[in-house]
Structure 1
Amino acid sequence: MKTYLLLALLLFSNKAFCQELNPKYDSALADSLGSDDYGMKYYTFVLLKTGKTIIENKEEVSNLFKGHMENIQKLADDGKLIVAGPFGKNERNYRGIFILNVKTIEEAEVLLQSDPAIKAGLLEAEITPWYGSSALPTYLENSEKVNKYSF
């Protein structure tokens, strides 16, 4: 009796650990997005914080942040920026985030040097690899359709 019970347990537990193929899987889409077998891939996550540089000239600061916004748009247009957005007021000096469509910190650092606010030291970037859904870039297709106002 113990043998049958053990055999049944092994059969059912093996089924619990088996992976089943997703019936909605689209291999062409997965390949085009750089997906691994789990529909994931590496990006870089950038945490923007208040930088150490203080610029008293408000017009200069305004121009640097205008350039910051233009750079965000350019990186998005180039397919390098997937997510960007500011934080609300907080005590940690967190200003915003980027999720960049690049695999390495070195690639991200090169892209961030095109941002005038970061280059000037008004913003400081902390960069770390991030593993997320490879479908994340597809959300941009719809984001422009829900913005009533453009920047």
Structure 2
Amino acid sequence: MQHTRDKEAILHLYNKILPQVAERIFQNLTEVTPLFDDFNLERVVDTWTKDKSGFSEKEISIENGNVQQVGLRLRLNGFQPAGAQTFDMSKELMFKLEYSSYEVGPDKNTKWAEKAYLEPWSKQETEEIANRWTEDLIEEITQKVQNLG
């Protein structure tokens, strides 16, 4: 039986999958984070976006099983390339929650993977998403440094 988006499915993502991916991203960033004064990697829940198909007046929450997006948000503060201005970076990994599956990508319009709810992630899948995300981040930092120079 295919599982649909509900409290159980969202909690599974939030408590099991996101920390797994975050841990992998954190490991990938060990050479990047020391370049910044401060960094923060946190789980986020979008409680603003309403379900396009739903007419429910229920508050948007994990508890009500009607959240549209969860994800990870990284904030890197105070990177100072030699002789250049300090800058901050922010990057997200979005899990867009559809009715019977979810999409993973760097924003809600880009899909890197699609999975069924409660389907476990293999170590390889976790690494692939984390590596792709980290490569994007490093590319963005590199671009920013080059533009400052």
| Structure having greater relative contact order (Cα 8 Å, sep ≥ 6) | 1
Same fold (TM over 0.5): no
Give the shorter-chain TM-score range: under 0.3
Greater Rg over alpha carbons, structure: 1
Q: Normalization by structure 1: what TM-score?
A: 0.26
Bigger fraction of residues in helix? 1
